[in-house]
Amino acid sequence: MSSIISQDFIEFARDHFRLDWDGIHGASHWARVRRNGLLLAEHCEADRQVVEWFAFVHDLERHDDFKDPGHGHRAADLAEELNSRFLHLSAQQLGLLQAACCGHSEGKTKADTTVMVCWDADRLDLGRVGIYPSAKYLCTDLARGSDVIEAAYHRSIQNIYESAPSRDMEEAMSHDELGTWGER
């Protein structure tokens, strides 16, 4: 499956992102969130375009890798600014993306299915910061499955032990199939 994320957008993101491109909120994280989200979307009737854009936009406005309470709202504003240039989402899709960005760090577990898939996709990647995802903070039945949590956790810690963290970004932009939850 090919990505809807263009190389022009990646270049914009690289120039715009204030933090370490290979850091905990950078490109590798976005790539894993994309994979998690699209795997969830296959089974949850979520809008795949919104899920994919969420992966690449939700942390793009971070100013700090630690406490940055306004970053989700800033990302939602940025999504609106970028919609005509890169995203090309309908008003409804943009609203879902903005809701997902605004709420992704607030611990909520109830929303539109697409928004919940976005939140789960991000929360399943907590291993990169030393946290094993807890089912009680996940929104969808599929994401709460122990096999899904385990597979996502292993993917999220894989780069900690490798020397090329941007490899995930290359995979996210490739035309390869996403695989399944069991593949690490």
The answer as to whether 183 is a domain residue is: no
Q: Looking at residue 117, what is its pLDDT?
A: 98
Q: Looking at residue 106, what is its pLDDT?
A: 87
Q: Looking at residue 102, what is its pLDDT?
A: 97
Low-confidence ranges of the chain (pLDDT < 70): 1, 159-184
The answer as to whether 150 is a domain residue is: yes
The answer as to whether 36 is a domain residue is: yes
- CA separation (Å) from 155 to 7, 30, 166, 168? 24, 13, 13, 10
Q: Looking at residue 74, what is its pLDDT?
A: 98
Q: Looking at residue 1, what is its pLDDT?
A: 57
Q: Looking at residue 169, what is its pLDDT?
A: 56
Which residue stretches of the chain are H helix?
A: 7-16, 27-44, 48-57, 71-82, 91-103, 113-123, 146-158, 167-173
Q: Looking at residue 161, what is its pLDDT?
A: 55
The answer as to whether 180 is a domain residue is: no
Report the distance separating Cα 116 and Cα 41, nearest Å.
10
Range of the domain at 134: 7-173
pLDDT digit string, tens, across residues 128-163: 999 999 999 999 999 999 999 999 999 999 866 554
The answer as to whether 21 is a domain residue is: yes
- CATH number (domain holding residue 117): 1.10.3210.10
The answer as to whether 121 is a domain residue is: yes
Number of domains in the chain: 1
The answer as to whether 1 is a domain residue is: no
The answer as to whether 84 is a domain residue is: yes
